[in-house]
């Protein structure tokens, strides 16, 4: 417990005030094995750290797919207009309907993330992001997002 508290304090001290981090709801379009669309929410934890949950839906070969993700993003240049970031997260992917009451995701596992924010200090921001899935998730996903 003490280590977790100490690590949290160190991360907050390194990250600085929250003001420069993106926040708000947004829409995203992307491509992996199929085209998909979804929504995300950006919740600043500090100046450089952002919690980013998202939900995506896709055609998934005609049966429909649902991906739930939770990510932690770290802004490398939090004060710049063009802000590169890296991150990691966990995703769960399910395809098609199931009558099984013990239904579990078709795939779940960690993801590595790299992206860039454009116009983050303006009202509406855009981002281009790539995700590398591990443990059976799609190997590469590209996303274009807009946050309001």
What angle is formed at CA 4 by the lines to CA 79 and CA 48, rounded to 5 degrees? 5
What angle is formed at CA 66 by the lines to CA 62 and CA 116, rounded to 5 degrees? 110
Find the mean pLDDT for residues 24-43: 88
What's the total number of domains in the chain? 1
Higher pLDDT, 1 or 131: 131
Residue 40's contacts (CB-CB under 8 Å, 6 or more residues apart) are 25, 26, 27, 28, 52, 53, 54, 55, 145, 147
Quick: pLDDT tens for 44-96: 998 889 999 999 998 766 677 888 999 999 989 887 878 899 999 998 888 76
Strand-pair partners of 115: 85, 129
Q: Which domain holds residue 16?
A: 2-147
Nearest residue to 47 (alpha-carbon basis) of 13, 84, 88, 7: 13
Higher pLDDT, 135 or 76: 76
* CATH number, position 70: 2.40.160.20
* Residues 97, 78: Cα–Cα separation, whole Å: 42
Cβ atoms of 65 and 37 within 8 Å: the answer is no
Whether pTM exceeds 0.85: no
Q: Indicate if the pLDDT at residue 1 is higher than 60.
A: no
């Amino acid at each position: 417990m003490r280590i977790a508290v100490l690590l949290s304090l160190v991360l907050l001290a390194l990250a600085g005030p929250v003001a420069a981090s993106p926040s708000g709801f947004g829409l995203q379009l992307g491509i992996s094995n199929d085209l998909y669309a979804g929504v995300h929410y950006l919740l600043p934890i500090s100046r450089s750290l952002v919690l980013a949950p998202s939900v995506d839906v896709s055609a998934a070969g005609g049966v429909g797919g649902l991906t739930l993700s939770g990510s932690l993003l770290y802004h490398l240049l939090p004060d710049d207009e063009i802000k590169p970031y890296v991150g990691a997260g966990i995703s769960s992917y399910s395809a098609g309907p199931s009558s099984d009451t013990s239904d579990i995701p078709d795939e779940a596992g960690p993801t590595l993330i790299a992206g860039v924010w454009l116009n983050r200090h303006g009202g509406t921001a855009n981002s281009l992001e790539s995700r590398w899935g591990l443990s059976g998730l799609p190997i590469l996903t590209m996303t274009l997002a807009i946050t309001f």
